[in-house]
Amino acid sequence: MMISLDSQPEPLSPRGISRELKLFAIASLAMGMAYSIVDATFNNFLNDRFALGGFERSFLEFPRELPGFLVVFVSAALWFLCSRRLGGVALLLGVAGSLLIGFASTSYAVMVVWLFIYSMGQHLFMPIAATIGMELAEEGKTGRRLGQLNALRNLAAIAGSFLVFLGFRFLGFTFEVTFVLAAIGFVIAAVLMFRMQPQTTHQPRAYLTLRHEYALYYVLVALAGSRKQLFITFAPWVIVSIFNQPTQTIATLMTIGGVIGILFQPLLGRWIDRLGERTVLLVEAVLLAVVCFGYGFARAVLPEEIAFLAVCLFYLLDQMLFSVGMARSMYMKKIARDPGDVQAALTAGVTIDHIFSIGVALVGGAIWSAFGFEYVFLMGVVIAVLSFFAARRVRLPDRSFALSPTPAR
């Protein structure tokens, strides 16, 4: 498949690219499909097996997001593994976690333990994906490369969510079957990551250092973590519990979002390269305010069926906005004083993101139970406003550097 970013296509295809990029691209496909299968299944798995209420569902985000807080310490402990080897380890945790959730969740408490293992692998991989993607980019075309790789993961998400839709609708899938399929995808991705050439490692102290020069980046990721729960937890929970939709609905929305993402991700990468991170982050904040207001109040001002369609459209737009995370990663790369700071700062960013993510999950669940889901999304509007003012402060230095001495094509 060719994913072009300009009028003159530059394909991400097996020809003319490095061995490392080929391996990482295929691993991204397998990994993206595996994560998509779990994401499309998990909310209905919880609803069917444990019949959770709104607060119970949001409280579950504490053990699921706790690995995001701990990832900076785990990465420091595993400093002797380069990013590519650490990525392979993270994917093996995904294998173990998905199988245990599917086959050994004998109670809610036990399932939480398995979810922690799965989530640790997922959160370990988050900064690694961005770091490797920027390593494999030509200077000045980082957004393009990240957009291409994200588009591949969107293609994989289409395949994974569509498989869930077909399986539950026509093939008699059970939750156990979907978790096995996800584990197979993680295994394939892990093998490919271990086949990549290792890179230079960094000392563990780098992961545990917060630098005042990067304070605005930390603020941006804190706000991103706060808004993330609205999409991951509360938006699908509105669709499942408020609009009483089955497993196929979330899977269908993820499929449609993946199709859109194939075109949108490379385009977004080009926009970041040309317009700059500041402009893209400002637009994201404005659109996020619209999305949050729509989630919360579409049902109050529109007939039920039209409100449901509107919420689905907001969900798709929200899914597209998630891709703007690449702008924050590129901003960090450009302001870094040393190339070795980049992965360390991105990893610290995941921890900061999840401190706020966990807090919003707990506060949001309490607000949902006490006042209603509408007020959770009013909180999202406030987060969007704060994000807008933070993005206005983004300024880039004149200097920048390449992450690798010889850019990969």
In 105-174, where does DSSP find H-type helix?
108-135, 142-170
Tokens describing residue 13: 């295809």
Highest mean pLDDT: which range of 84-93, 181-190, 265-274, 324-333: 181-190
Higher pLDDT, 254 or 400: 254
Residue with tokens 């706790």: 66
Instruction: Specify burial of residue 62 (Cβ count, 10 A radius: 0-12, 13-18, 19+).
Output: middle
- The pLDDT tens digits for 371-399 are 888 888 999 999 999 999 999 998 877 54
Return the pLDDT at 137.
Answer: 67
Q: How far apart are CA 76 and CA 354, in angstroms?
A: 17
| Distance, first Cα to last Cα, the chain | 17
CA atoms within 13 A on the CB side of 265: 24
Its sign, for the CA torsion 6, 157, 355, 67, is negative
312 Cβ neighbours under 8 A, 6+ residues apart: 239, 253
CA atoms within 13 A on the CB side of 336: 21
Average pLDDT over residues 253-273: 82
Q: How far apart are CA 256 and CA 239, in angstroms?
A: 16
Q: Is the pLDDT of residue 401 over 50?
A: no
- The pLDDT tens digits for 124-167 are 887 777 777 777 766 666 777 777 787 788 788 788 878 888 88
> Are the beta carbons of 236 and 122 closer than 8 angstroms?
no
104 Cβ neighbours under 8 A, 6+ residues apart: 110, 114
Q: How far apart are CA 70 and CA 172, in angstroms?
A: 38
Return the pLDDT at 204.
Answer: 44
- Compute the CA torsion angle 321, 323, 328, 329 (nearest 10 deg): 170
Higher pLDDT, 26 or 206: 26
Domain 19-196+210-391 has CATH 3.30.300.10: no
Return the pLDDT at 283.
Answer: 93
184 Cβ neighbours under 8 A, 6+ residues apart: 34
170 Cβ neighbours under 8 A, 6+ residues apart: none
Residue 257's identity, in one-letter code, is G
Q: Is the pLDDT of residue 53 over 70?
A: no
Q: Is the pLDDT of residue 273 over 90?
A: no
Q: How far apart are CA 69 and CA 74, in angstroms?
A: 10
Among 189, 147, 139, 122, smallest CA distance to 325 is for 147
Among 345, 325, 327, smallest CA distance to 336 is for 345
CA angle 40, 353, 317 (to 5 degrees): 45
Average pLDDT over residues 49-66: 71
Tokens describing residue 42: 């998990």
Residue 144's identity, in one-letter code, is R
Q: What is the pTM of this model?
A: 0.68
Give the DSSP per-residue string, 64-116.
HHHHHHHHHHHHHHTTTS-HHHHHHHHHHHHHHHHHHHHHH--SHHHHHHHHH
Tell me the pLDDT band of 403, cut-offs 50, 70 and 90: very low
- Summarize the chain as % helix, strand, coil (round to 5): 80, 0, 20
198 Cβ neighbours under 8 A, 6+ residues apart: 82, 84, 85
Domain boundaries, the chain: 19-196+210-391
Higher pLDDT, 407 or 331: 331
Q: How far apart are CA 17 and CA 141, in angstroms?
A: 15
- The pLDDT tens digits for 83-131 are 788 888 899 999 999 999 989 888 888 988 999 999 999 888 877 777 7
